[in-house]
Structure 1
């Protein structure tokens, strides 16, 4: 039912675990009245716990509103375009704003995880012999949380720990 704590998506191993397992949750089966009555008290409690977990893990309905469809289309297009850019110029970004608990983070994570699945399928693993902690490790997506008023320095400070790279004292400049 719940194989442990949720993966820490803000680290490379956690993101990879999230990406690979995000659709593996199996919802509780729907039981009719007779099937439910046939359960022992213990099985009934376990089933109720599974139902609670099911409600807490409802999938994001990406096509539920015109706004979510527009955000999904824009974000997917932007990620695909940026991934194909060859010049070292600035890549266009997307800012998604809104009130809390509206599914912004989960929607974005699903979109970028889907992109990474497709990218890995398209280009293979690029370097399957890459060792963790080396520069040739391939990670097409990095998920990090940033301050509301993120600037390039604070973004870099958020990204470095994702790759388990040190943040040296000389990098600690005002953000």
Structure 2
């Protein structure tokens, strides 16, 4: 299975392709960071990211895209740019029929390091070890994109099986009994 991991960002958007082969062995295929200047018009910046992502989708033909879920930050401007880039990535993947799965930052950190609160250096270190790289991917956006792909390869199939089982089981009905009251 081949996964494109995307660490969305308007100034730096990390892209990483990881293959999973026999015995769940992982291999780096490609990694890069798309950079856009804050001085450039927003539409032009989003188009630049779109073109790069589309090129990666066409060149590498991933089976899935693992995208970091946008979470609330203190800087609304930053979260808006991240959300806009995420939308561009999702649209490019959907156009090609490639499924997109969103992973939270803590989920990715836990999958790669065993600690949902790991810092950037821990993530980079573990990505380097897991993929048996001679040098660490830089900048951190590149390592984060690879971590997203690794997370999806390790957790994605299990999560899909769990979701299918839950759907097959139907809705869960619970009855709460309140002490001294009606149920």
| Fold-level similarity (TM above 0.5) | no
Tell me which structure has the larger Cα radius of gyration: 1
More strand by share: 2
TM-score (structure 2 length as normaliser): 0.27
